[in-house]
Structure 1
Amino acid sequence: MPMKYDVCIVGAGFGGLAAAAELTRKGMSVAVLEASNELGGSAGKYERQGYRFQSGATVGMGFEPGGVFDRLYTSLGLDKPSMTLLNPIMDIHMPDRTIHYYSKKAQWYNEIEHHFPEDASRIQAFYDEVFRVGEMVDAMVEKLPVFPPKTLSDWIRLTPMISRNSIQLLPYMNQTVYDRLKKYNLHQNRLFQIFLNGELMDSVQTSVERCPAFLGFTALQTFHKGAFAVHGGLASVAEQLSKYIKESGNEVFLRHPVHVVEKKGAGYHLHSKRSKVFESDYVILNNSVHNLHDTLSEELRNQSYIKPEKEKSREAWGAFIIHAGVHEEVFNNTDVLYHQFIDPNHPDDLHDGGQFLLSLSDPSDDQMAPAGMRSLTISTHTNVSQWWESEDYEAAKKRMNQRLIDTVNHYFPGFEDRLDLVLPGSPVTFQKWLRRDQGKVGGYAPTGKYSWIRSYSIRTGIKGIYQCGDTVFPGAGTLGVTLSGLMAAKELTR
């Protein structure tokens, strides 16, 4: 007999766990079905030889007072995990300088004056606009609207959100970040654009010329609201949410891939391993839109408004990632845990090693590495297709691995010689372990000022089946996927 629940959630990433925790709080019976042996999805972890490595996402956002996770933890009655507030958020290592990216506004504006003296006043005015617009977008998204609206009820529920502030957002919804730079005559400042491109690639997966202004501004201001290194990695958050779900009487099943979801009577059957079947009235899919059509039965696929050929044509990045251990003395001269590197020979390349992020474990966090060592994650965006079409996959992986290590070694001499365990991974690795189709991660890359209109909402077009995660509005990052999970939970319980 199938195991019966009110809601079954496919995937224990941040979106699925947030939805499950919220539905649990509201008294519904919930089962979370996760294919892998770990929680957190692309923000999960794994352990090797005394190190704990973060699968993908590493920076904690939304834990500041009033932030997404601060509100979620308060509503669930949970204590937040131990964490370190980052200031600077990161160091950006550029060909001729290192920019300290401070979270505090006054310090950041002083840093702007130091590195961009001729354009400092214009850049500061640009950031004043970033902060103002970002706060307006946050205020709207925090109300968890279904966006983009797909049904009449979605449009009706958006009506109360129309205000003087929301109307002021309209110009930023039909311009790119590059368009706004033109307003301040900053579009010719190449150095500042290299810097902005690095931050937008890290947060929105695109460049100033292709990023809708309201999305880019929201991402840029989020850095300054509070960035944290969560002790034990972001997987600590996933573990807390899972514990809350289970201690409240619901279930989280690891190593339970969902092979197919099919309609059965008034509800749904989810088929998992060894012919195990779960039955529910509602389903939330947190396994990405990339995997949607492989998860649904043919009958349900035909009902979805998301068509396979359209979905597969959308631009999406993969990630090339290195997990490694390093002797702590390599970074003894800096307290900064996050470092963004711009390849000194190719500063305009935004992927495949042209720019990338290195995350170091906090030396006070003994969960992450043996004594005297630090665990680290290096991650760069990469074109997915090349890894599946490569004639010599291992040689390609070795070349990319060496390119990233050489760049870090350029800025931190001795880095390569002091490495311990080195574990590189490509989109092929992400498909194998996280079951992401072709290894696509980070959602869809914005391609222009109106690309947000093509965003997928939490609605699949199938009654009773919702979706959340990095491929669903408001997009990538732990904040975005968590908000989409809460949006799905809110709509499901109407």
Structure 2
Amino acid sequence: MTGPWYDAVVVGAGFGGLGAALELTRRGARVALCETLNYPGGCASTFHRHGHAFESGATLFSGLADGQLFGRWVRELGLDVTVDWVDPLVELRTPGMRLVVYHDRDRLLDQLRAFPGAPARALGDFFALQRRVADALWPLFDDPTLLPPLDVRALLHHASRAGSYLPLARWMGRPLGAVLEHLGLLGFTPLRTYLDALCQITVQCAAAEAEAPFALAAMDYYWRGTGHVRGGIGQLARALAGAVTAEGGDVLLANRVKSLTPTSGGWRVESRRGELLTRHVVANVLPQGLARLLSPTASKQLPHRVRSLAGKVAEGWGAVMLYLVVGAPEGASPHAHHLELIQEPHAPFIEGNHLFASFSGEADMGRAPPGQRTVTVSTHVPLRALRDASPEERARLVSRLQQRMREGLEHLAPEWMRDVRHEMTGSPRTFERFTGRDGGAVGGVPRRAGLHHYVSMSPRPVLEGLWLVGDSVFPGQSTLATALGGVRTAARVAPRQSPAKRTPAAFASATSASTFWR
């Protein structure tokens, strides 16, 4: 075999791939990280166009506090990343209501109780349950070793916390709507509106159908080390890619992987820059994208669970986007901030009815000229609606949704629409073209109620030496979750510290020995 040899090749420098590559290099593995784009981050990246810098998709991130994954990396690796702890984090606006989410969670409960006819006691019971569930589940995100696969220490830790998991048992496999019904809150519109908006951007479905423990834990998203990365999330992605290099890994940007072929004892990775040889491949791609990269013979060998997962992704979401440059209105906060806009609270929170708009701050140097801000605005669109339409119908649908988005901004955030200097549009087709994600899918698999979510929680190879990470596999979805999934997969790929770097000549013996690469 010829070509550079690696212990692992990571395909895709989204946060799942970045997490896997960084953890593997820190464990002593020789790693190549291949990325199609000329910058890292994938769907959570910062891109430059026409002299401005925009967030490609995701815009608000958790896990940035000192004791959490991103915060630890920033501190331990000395990353050049500054986090602005913006407060408030998000303002929710509808035609008849405003809710402001602060770092102090009790302020949200106080606002809800202040609405006329608010069921104060039931609201208190709901938030008490929500907090117990979140306090049980979020420590798993703070310490990756508590996620599967579990060692003896982790098992003992979970045993000591068994009592904290009891509130989950009653609601596992049941929708959040059942919790609201149990507490008599189904008819309280302010809470339902808030939960529908939050669930749509976190667990990717409406509150009435969301898996209750996942949704209750996701409610803590704003209160778990969530902040704004100054300059855009691309700053963190680039810093992590730099850390992979500093740990001895090869970061190969603008290097699209064309195919993956199993060989004796490993894999041949054919990329834009040539061939790489490796024992393991960690693919930060969608399951259908993985099938496309494999040879026909290998693709047919993919287990049913991967094919089933591809089907679930295809029934998920794409995003329609507006990227704006606006003049900051008089009296605007100098800080980055976020608006969640709902035009009709009783209609589905998709297709331009629900918008998430993120505004850069004055400290985000290089994003826009002085006195101006860049704005990323997104809405969900069902991938099925685009897949089943002709090209002309898709174009009309996307255009109609973008017009509805403009109308929502003008109605609910008029102060920001009085001085629009520049506009670009984006669609699922745009995401597919620039990120390689099939159909432009975003957000992973919707977490609708069902016990199936708890079946495949431990990383396992889809084929010998081939692993899948990203937002479509556990723990999935958020930037923090995908990075954690990459870290846990790396722990399975390289469970021990590597010996000294091996040479290509040692490839056959290394792959058969399996004391390290099991």
Over 3 Å counting, the alpha-carbon distance change for 1:146 and 1:417 in structure 2 is same
For residues 73 and 372 of structure 2, the distance between their equivalents in structure 1, rounded to whole angstroms, comes to 34
Q: How far has the Cα of 1:72 moved from its partner? A: 3.2
Give aligned pairs, total: 487
The residue number in structure 2 matching 1:237 is: 236
Quote how far apart the aligned CAs of 1:357 are.
0.2
- Distance in 2, matches of 1:336 and 1:204, equals 24
**What is the aligned partner in structure 2 of residue 111 from structure 1?**
111
Matched, 1:362 2:361: yes
Unaligned runs of 5+ in 2: 496-518
Instruction: Determine if contact 1:42/1:55 at 8 Å carries over to the other structure.
Output: yes
C-alpha contact 2:132 2:164 (8 A) present in aligned 1: no
Show structure 1 runs of 5+ residues with no match.
none
**Aligned residues of 2:470 and 2:485 also touching (Cα < 8 A):** yes
Question: Deviations 1:432-464 (Å, cap 9, x if unpaired)?
Answer: 011110111110112323352466753243222
Query: Over residues 7-31 of structure 1, what are the superposed CA-to-partner deviations in whole Å (9 max), with x where a residue is unaligned?
Result: 1000000111111111111211110
Secondary structure in 2 aligned to 1:65?
Answer: coil
One-letter amino acid of the counterpart of residue 169, structure 1: L
Residue-by-residue CA offset, 1:319-362 (whole Å, 9 max, x unaligned): 11111101111772796710000014x64221111111000001
Aligned ranges for residues 290-309 of structure 1 at < 5 Å? 290-306=288-304
For 1:91, the equivalent position in structure 2 comes to 91
Residues of 2 paired with 1:121 and 1:102: CA distance? 22
Structure 1 match to 2:506: none
Distance 1:321 1:302 in 2: 36
Q: CA deviation at 1:291?
A: 1.2
Between stretches 292-301 and 421-430, larger displacement belongs to 292-301
Partner of 2:208: helix, strand, or coil? Answer: coil
1:63 correspondence with 2:61? no
Give the match for residue 128 of structure 1.
128
1:2 lines up with 2:30 in the alignment:
no
> What is residue 504 of structure 2 aligned with on the other side?
none
CA deviations over 1:146-187 (Å, ceiling 9, x no partner): 97x7xxx87999854343333543223232211111232112
Q: Is the 8 A contact 2:68 2:143 kept in 1?
A: no
Contact 1:194 1:348 (8 Å CA) reproduced: no
Secondary structure of the corresponding residue to residue 119 of structure 2: helix
Q: Contact 1:351/1:381 (CA < 8 Å) preserved in 2?
A: yes
The worse-fitting range, judged by mean Cα deviation, of 432-441 and 123-132 is 123-132
Distance in 1 (CA, whole Å) between partners of 2:277 and 2:63 is: 34
Equivalent pair of 2:141/2:481 in contact (CA under 8 Å): no
Is this contact kept in 1: 2:286–2:310, CA < 8 A?
no
Give 1:59 deviation, angstroms: 0.5
Deviations 1:26-74 (A, max 9, x none): 2111100111222100001211122101111110211123222123334
TM-score normalized by structure 1? Answer: 0.92
For the residue of structure 1 that corresponds to 2:431, the secondary structure is helix
Q: Deviations over 1:178-202 (max 9, x none)?
A: 1111232112223321210001101
> Does the aligned pair in 2 maintain the 1:304–1:460 contact within 8 Å?
no
Q: Is the 8 A contact 1:231 1:367 kept in 2?
A: no
Return the letter of the residue paired with 2:246.
E
CA root-mean-square deviation: 2.4
Give the secondary-structure state (helix, strand or coil) at the position aligned to 2:170.
Answer: helix
Question: Taking structure 1 as reference, are residues 255 and 336 closer, same or farther at Cα in structure 2, changes over 3 Å only?
Answer: closer
Matches of 1:119 and 1:334, distance apart in 2: 37
Change over 3 Å in CA distance of 1:155–1:22 after alignment to 2 = closer
Partner of 2:282: 284
Equivalents in 2 of 1:216, 1:155: separation in Å? Answer: 27
- Are residues 1:204 and 2:203 paired? yes
1:294–1:448 distance in 2 versus 1, CA, 3 Å: same
Deviation, structure 1 residue 143 = 5.1
Residue number in structure 2 paired with 1:400: 401
Residues in 2 aligned to 1:105 and 1:41: alpha-carbon distance in whole angstroms: 31
Assess, with a 3 A threshold, how the Cα gap between structure 1 residues 307 and 223 changes in structure 2: closer, same or farther. same
Cα shift readout 1:353-374 (whole Å, capped 9, x = no counterpart): 1111000001222121111110
| Structure-2 separation of matches of 1:333 and 1:72 | 30
- 2:508 maps to which residue? none
Q: Which amino acid aligns with 1:38?
A: Y
Taking the aligned partners of 1:232 and 1:335, their CA distance within structure 2 comes to 12
Indicate the percent of aligned positions where both proteins have the same amino acid.
25
Distance 1:106 1:447 in 2: 28
Distance 1:456 1:300 in 2: 24
Matches of 2:16 and 2:73 in 1, distance apart? 12
TM-score after normalising by structure 2: 0.88
The code of the aligned residue for 1:112 comes to: L
User: Do residues 433 (structure 1) and 431 (structure 2) align?
Assistant: no
Q: CA deviation at 1:429?
A: 0.8
Conserved? CA contact 2:18–2:240, under 8 Å: yes
Please tell me the residue identity of whatever aligns with 2:406.
I
Alignment check: 8 A CA contact 1:330 1:418 kept? no
Q: 1:172 is paired with a residue of what secondary structure?
A: coil
Q: 1:348 to 1:214 in 2, by over 3 A?
A: same
DSSP 3-state at the match of 2:459: coil
Letter in 2 for 1:348: A
- What is the CA–CA distance in structure 1 between the aligned matches of 2:166 and 2:462, rounded to whole Å? 29
